[in-house]
Structure 1
Amino acid sequence: MGGVPVVAAPEEIDITNAEALRSALLKAGADGRGTLVVDMTQTQFCDSSGLHTLIAAHKRAEAEGREVLLVIPNTAVLRVFALTGMDRVIPNFTSLPEALAQTAACPNGHSRQRTEGDTAPKTSGGPGLAGELPDTLERSSEEAQQTFTRALTSAVQV
């Protein structure tokens, strides 16, 4: 869209299709443009393998001086990102036009993330779950999955 690669994520992102999403992200990012948008408008569920795929895409883009933007209008999906702290690491927006407008405003990447006044849901998944991950991207996939599991377990118990 307007020269910005946009990958439409599936309705459910889990272990059965995370590799296909990874391949689509690699292909879309192969052109070396500054920003890649992942449109999660249709996504209703994202498990730890999907989260890992998106974190890996973010890390790869950042290492190349680019960025990944997520479109996450579904509050249940956004809650997964909030519980793991990823909502503060990977810039995310409530609509595709909002994300694309941000790419136009910052053509070389490094868009602004949602702020306190934005529509990101408040988390109440337990003491410090999001706060446990001040530098989440330095953690291993196993640690991220353990934190994800703890966050979901805590959310179910609430």
Structure 2
Amino acid sequence: MTDMKLRTIPLRRSALAQPETIAIGVSFDVTGARRFARSVTRLAQRHPASVIVDMSQTQSVDSSGFGSLISGLKKLDDAGATSYVVCANPAVRRLMDFTGVSRMFAVVDRLSDARHAIEQATAGALAS
């Protein structure tokens, strides 16, 4: 039998990995903003390929929540992540459209839309 040496090979995060998801509650207020900011900081350190901010249950967003969302999306962008914001509530969606968030980041109506967009982007990246 031959003598085999084992060596450790560092692995990069797979392009096929599931996207990271941050779920926002019914009300995105100062308390939720703090939790969101902590989650974003931890996520950004891992440099994920894509992140879904799931606001599908969110009914209201105050100025603290909105400021935290913008800051967090920018931080994720700086970390190299593509972010998708899920807004099911028409009022929250109008806020994203009116403030220009939907022009800077992908804003979709359903979680399945975000996952589909990520799958399409991943398939396109793998094909090239």
The gaps in structure 1 that reach 5 residues or longer are: 109-158
Query: In structure 2, how many angstroms separate the alpha carbons of the residues matched to 1:84 and 1:92?
Result: 12
Query: In structure 2, how many angstroms separate the alpha carbons of the residues matched to 1:49 and 1:90?
Result: 19
Query: In structure 2, how many angstroms separate the alpha carbons of the residues matched to 1:105 and 1:48?
Result: 33
- Amino-acid identity (%): 26
Q: Mark the CA change 1:64 to 1:101 in structure 2 (over 3 Å): closer, same or farther.
A: same
Tell me the SS of whatever aligns to 2:85.
strand
Query: Once the 2 structures are TM-superposed, how far is the Cα of residue 102 of structure 1 from its aligned partner?
Result: 0.7
Aligned residue in 1 for 2:25: 10
**Aligned-residue RMSD, C-alpha:** 1.8
Runs (4 or more) in structure 1 with deviation over 3 Å come to none
Task: Please identify the structure whose Cα radius of gyration is greater.
Answer: 2
Query: In structure 1, how many angstroms separate the alpha carbons of the residues matched to 2:82 and 2:95?
Result: 20
Question: Could you tell me which of 77, 84, 109 is aligned with 1:94?
Answer: 109
Aligned residue in 2 for 1:54: 69
Count of paired positions: 107
1:40-119 to structure 2, matched below 5 A, reads: 40-107=55-122
1:121-132 to structure 2, matched below 5 A, reads: none
Contact 1:29/1:36, CA 8 A, preserved across alignment:
no
Query: Once the 2 structures are TM-superposed, how far is the Cα of residue 10 of structure 1 from its aligned partner?
Result: 0.9
Tell me the SS of whatever aligns to 2:46.
coil
Query: Once the 2 structures are TM-superposed, how far is the Cα of residue 60 of structure 1 from its aligned partner?
Result: 1.3
More strand by share: 2
For residues 44-66 of structure 1, the C-alpha deviation after alignment (integer angstroms, 9 at most, x for no partner) is 00112111111112211222222
Contact 2:88/2:110, CA 8 A, preserved across alignment:
yes
Amino acid at match of 2:119: A
* TM value normalised by structure 1: 0.62
Tell me the SS of whatever aligns to 2:72.
helix
